[in-house]
Structure 1
Amino acid sequence: MLEFIEYPKCSTCKKAKQELNQLGVDYKAVHIVEETPSEDVILNWLETSSFEVKQFFNTSGIKYRELGLKDKVGSLTKQEAAKLLASDGMLLKRPILVENGAVKQIGYRKTYEDLGLR
């Protein structure tokens, strides 16, 4: 089952969700703040995906700036990053598409149609 991890008020998440619906993709919506992925889940994503650690962070978010993470993210271990990301769902880049426990895409810059979703 495809999971669509989102912050429902986010305009980018709304656009992405609209595309999934137009493509007729079956997915489970997960609220990133109410159901923040656990440290173990995020660590698994960091270790098994082709995405860099920084790509998991919502670098334009208020919390990211408040914590001064711009200069720190590059030096975090995957374990440290997972712990930090699991502490607050708003630190995670969104939306996140997860299929069978593996991250398929982070964010929404290119269309989902490019991923071959149907």
Structure 2
Amino acid sequence: MLFLEYPKCSTCRKARKWLDEHGVSYLDRPIHEEKPTVEELRAWWKQSGLPLRRFFNTSGQLYRSLGLKEKLEGMSEEEQLQLLASDGMLVKRPLVIGEDFVLVGFKPEEWQNVLG
């Protein structure tokens, strides 16, 4: 299982603690240093069944400074994927990628249902 996080993010720290407390093994990947590729993002998005918009870190400074709330609607899915891949700070975190699931953001109830 792959765990993508930004170590300075308090939500990511809570998620890591949850994984550790529940004995879930994972491979840690700092999203800022090893940003996801377009191919990875496309695969995770398709696997998740979620709208692509959910993969954007809408509370992040970069998202706001680029005015993406207004711009995303007019962008193609390919343009959005390229944008997400351009900077890991645009990607909602944490992300947990398993063989048959993708978790976007930290929601303990959802994580409990999927990871046990």
TM-score of the pair, normalised by structure 1: 0.90
AA aligned to 2:67 is: G
Number of residue pairs matched? 115
3-state DSSP of counterpart to 2:108: coil
Q: Does 1:28 align with 2:53?
A: no
Alignment of 1:52-63 (within 5 A): 52-63=51-62
Partner of 1:15: 14
Alignment of 1:18-97 (within 5 A): 18-97=17-96
- Deviations along 1:41-79, one digit per CA (max 9) or x if unpaired, are 112223332111110000000000111000122232221
Contact 1:64 1:91 (8 Å CA) reproduced? yes
Shift of residue 87, structure 1, vs aligned partner: 0.3
Larger helix fraction of residues: 2
Distance of 1:106 and 1:18 partners within structure 2: 16
Please give the root-mean-square deviation of Cα atoms over the aligned residues, in Å.
1.4
TM-score of the pair, normalised by structure 2: 0.91
Distance of 1:86 and 1:67 partners within structure 2: 15
**Identity between Structure 1 and Structure 2 (%):** 42
- Give unmatched runs, 5+ long, in structure 1: none
Larger strand fraction of residues: 1
Change (3 A) 1:4 1:45: same
